[in-house]
Amino acid sequence: MALKKAYGIILWSRKQGETSKVLSVYTREFGKLHVMAKGSRGTKSKYLGSLETYYLISMVFYHKENRSMHYMSDVSLEESFPRLHQRLGKLALASVPCEIIEKSEIDEHSHPQLFQHVLDTLYALENAEKGLKNIIRSFMIKFLSFAGFEPDFSQCMFCQKKESQSDVFFSLKHGTFACADCRHEIEAIIPLSAECLSLMRWLRQVPISRACEARISRTAGDDVDQLLVNYMRYHIETIKKLKSLEYVKQLESALANGTRKRTDQQA
């Protein structure tokens, strides 16, 4: 058993016994780790205030070879993302990339670029005030690239037309689209508007910190969300159901109902 150091994002935490916590931490050095923080819930614990979900931490831990659980020795809080934690909508959206990483990444598989992408996503949510869902869409597109299933929005897979003025037809199997003239060449296609295609091309190219700058209609945004989620589910077996996305939808529905009620009362 060796003492190791790691820099990581807390994906989730749960109570263990009366005083401890078990954490899933996505680290730059070791990939995903499950760590026990003994005595971390006591009022005099040295870990107090450092082990909340989506916090960025530096930790020292006892690494046990061929074991799924490791034991924390010390921790320093690097970033708490206060604005993210103060807004329920941001917090709900932050749970999406963290759940995707939790379900898709195997334990102790280091991927520094993917780690940085998750971290950049949290910083983008922390700093943005609008366009928050485009940050998550950007995360998904780039995550698929890291996972080996990068979608290609550049041109028709048959005639190489860079269609942008009319609907195209996306294939979940092939990860690219056919234009209207070539759509008969493939099965199981999803219609995709020019607005959706333009957004995904842009999100693929820009840093995630700029994703919030895009503006898109609600209908087009819903279509993009459905396509990206279905594409992930088609190619990544472990991402068949994402509770975080269901929660985001429930929250949006509750907020919309609340707005309608206030409008009716004012009328």
| pLDDT bracket for residue 45 (50, 70, 90) | confident
Do 21 and 151 reside in the same domain of the chain?
no
- What pLDDT score does 267 carry? 36
| pLDDT bracket for residue 150 (50, 70, 90) | very high
Q: Which of 84, 102, 118 is the last residue of a domain?
A: 84
- The count of C-alpha atoms lying within 13 angstroms of the C-alpha of 183, restricted to the half-sphere facing its C-beta, is 14
Do 118 and 132 reside in the same domain of the chain?
yes
Residue 48, domain extent: 2-84
Tally of domains within the chain:
2
| pLDDT bracket for residue 262 (50, 70, 90) | low
* CA–CA separation, 194 and 196 (whole Å): 5
Rounded average pLDDT over 11-36: 95
> Quick one: three-class SS letters along the chain?
CEEEEEEEEEEEEEEECCCEEEEEEEECCCEEEEEEECCCCCCCCCCCCCCCCCCEEEEEEEECCCCCCEEEEEEEEEECCHHHHHCHHHHHHHHHHHHHHHHHCCECCCCHHHHHHHHHHHHHHHHCCCCHHHHHHHHHHHHHHHCCCCCCCCCECCCCCCCCCCCEEEECCCCEEECCCCHHHCCCEEEECHHHHHHHHHHHHCCHHHHHHCCCCHHHHHHHHHHHHHHHHHHCCCCCCCHHHHHHHHHHHHHHHHHHHHHHHHC
Q: Give yes or no for residue 2 having a pLDDT over 70.
A: yes
Question: Is 266 a member of any domain?
Answer: no
Do 123 and 254 reside in the same domain of the chain?
yes
Does residue 217 contact residue 207 with C-beta atoms inside 8 Å? no
Q: For the segment 188-238, what is each residue's pLDDT rounded down to a tens digit?
A: 789 999 999 999 999 999 999 999 999 999 999 999 999 999 999 999 999
- What pLDDT score does 42 carry? 81
Q: Which of 59, 84, 109 is the last residue of a domain?
A: 84
